[in-house]
A = this chain, B = another copy of it.
Amino acid sequence: PPKLRKYLVSPYDPRYKVWETFLIILVVYSAWICPLEFAFLRYLPSAPFVVDDVVNGFFAVDIMLTFFVPFVDKKSYLLVNDPKKIAVRYLSSWFVFDVCSTVPFHSISLLFNEHGHDLGFKFLNVLRLWRLRRVSSMFARLEKDIRFNYAVIRCTKLISVTLFAIHCAGCINYLIADRYPDPRRTWIGAVMPNFREDGLWIRYVTAMYWSITTLTTTGYGDLHAENAREMLFGICYMLFNLWLTAYLIGNMTNLVVHSTSRTRDFRDVVQAASEFAARNQLPQQIEEQMLNHICLRYKTDGLKQQETLDVLPKAMRFSISHYLFFRVVQGAYLFKGVSSRFIQQLVTEMQAEYFAPKEDIILQNDSPSDLYFLVSGAVVYGRAAEGELLGEIGVLCNKPQSFTFRTTKLSQILRISRSKLLGIIQENREDGDIIRSNLQQVNV
């Protein structure tokens, strides 16, 4: 990480992360209290307003702080340290909104109006909901972070949105009833005639109950719109619900499809294999080996791994195979004394495979087309132990295999095709001679 200028705060500093998380909690509090104050204000105690001013203070501090936090440039992917550039970027983007959402309008309104129940100032207070963009960008960040489960993040986001929608709709609907001239002709007044005298808790729960009953389209009908204003709000809310419900279902479908795709792919492959075996009446033993191999491949996720490697540039693939296989290959008796460059070329061309227990690697009388290295596991009939070679005589002398090699444990094996091996030997004559003498010494 490049050195920061004095007074600047790294965005990767753990203390800054804690500060951001703390602000998120304050945002959640704001999102809850803000519609509540807006709708139930007339009867609310003054305590929340004091808390509000404290919360506003924290956000004011954050506005200051933002001028001292470098940002990552979108083109060069580098951290910009220059305080001027930081200030210009902030001032030209969210600064005005952030300030507007931090001004304590309620306290200001008290200067003009004794009770502060002015609807205009209340609307200004709603500007605090602008802070929700922090939550939104937090979720966007978490979704791309593989340390967190995608389904969990996505569900949390959807639940948050749903709860916020329910909360807001309940509060607005109460506000409409509260301001209506004839309290008995409102959705709540029709059931609780003196609702304005009831406690905050029972009114809040009733509003939430109406809200969720409508959102889930349960619609018992015990609470329903009584006048045109409420009908209009109901129309808007139900249209929004239609959209929200469809969005929830779409997301859930997406998660279900994604989460079950692996199991279904596995089933499809196993099904195809066993149908193939049944149609051609393959012997029991071959069918079992096939199914075992497919299960293992599914467990070790072999296919995806290969795709991942194919995407990487050559130098990276080279350093990975060097790291993984160089020692194993160097330790084989056949390659004692050969140049390390030869082994490097060999290693680049090798492919790793896993074999389940009791699977055949080489069959007797098979034509010799590949050379195998046993990295881990065990193989019988040819009695190979870890680090040994399989099929080297066949490949180098072009003879059919004289043994069948079969695994006894889960084994990892490196494979190189005969043509590639001979190609590399031809390019490096001296190493070829060493290999030939190694082969003769051992197999005489």
For A214, A256, A360, which residue has the most chain B Cβ atoms within 10 angstroms? A256
Oligomer: number of copies = 4
Q: Which of A353-392 contact B (CB under 8 A)?
A: 353, 355-357, 359-363, 365-367, 369-370
B324 touches A312 (CB 8 A): no
The answer for the CA separation of A202 and B185 in the assembled complex, in Å, is 15
Residue-wise interface mask of A (237-275) relative to B, using a CB-CB cutoff of 8 A (1 in contact, 0 not): 011011101111111111111101001101111111111
Q: Which residues of chain A (295-345) have a CB below 8 Å from chain B?
A: 297, 301, 303-305, 307-309, 311-316, 318-320, 323-324, 340-341, 344-345
For A267, list chain B residues within 8 Å (CB).
144, 146, 150
The CA-CA distance from A315 to B363 in the complex, in Å, is 6
In the assembled complex, which residues on chain B have CB atoms less than 8 Å from the CB atom of A242?
A: 162, 215-216, 245, 248
Distance between A26 CB and nearest chain B CB, rounded to angstroms: 25
Q: Which of A204-220 contact B (CB under 8 A)?
A: 205-206, 208-209, 212-220
Interface residues in A, total, Cβ within 8 A = 116
Interface string of A85-122 (1 = CB under 8 A from B): 00000000000000000000000000000000000000
With both beta carbons as reference points, the residue of chain B lying nearest to A228 in the complex is identified as B205
Q: Given B254, B286, B345, B363, which contacts A257 in the complex, CB threshold below 8 Å?
A: B254
A232 within 8 A of B: yes
Question: Which single member of B235, B272, B289 contacts A208 (CB below 8 Å)?
Answer: B235
Closest to A206 in B: B231
Q: Per a CB cutoff under 8 Å, which of B159, B234, B290 touches A316?
A: B290
Contact in complex: B260, A254 (CB < 8 Å) = yes
Q: How far is the CB of A170 from chain B (nearest CB, A)?
A: 10
Contact, CB under 8 Å: A308 / B344: no
Is A52 at the interface (CB under 8 A from chain B)? no
Contacts of A272 in B (CB 8 A): 301, 304-305, 307-308
Is the pair A250, B255 in contact by a Cβ cutoff of 8 Å? yes
- Cross-interface CB contact of A252 among B76, B246, B286, B345, cutoff 8 Å: B246
Enumerate 23 A-B pairs (CB-CB under 8 Å) in ascending A order: A144-B266, A146-B270, A202-B228, A205-B232, A209-B235, A212-B234, A213-B219, A216-B239, A218-B219, A219-B220, A220-B224, A221-B222, A242-B248, A250-B255, A272-B308, A275-B305, A280-B324, A282-B324, A286-B319, A293-B316, A313-B361, A314-B370, A315-B360
Q: A218-B219, A250-B256 are in contact. List 5 more A-B contacts (CB 8 A).
A: A77-B356, A162-B239, A206-B231, A212-B235, A272-B305
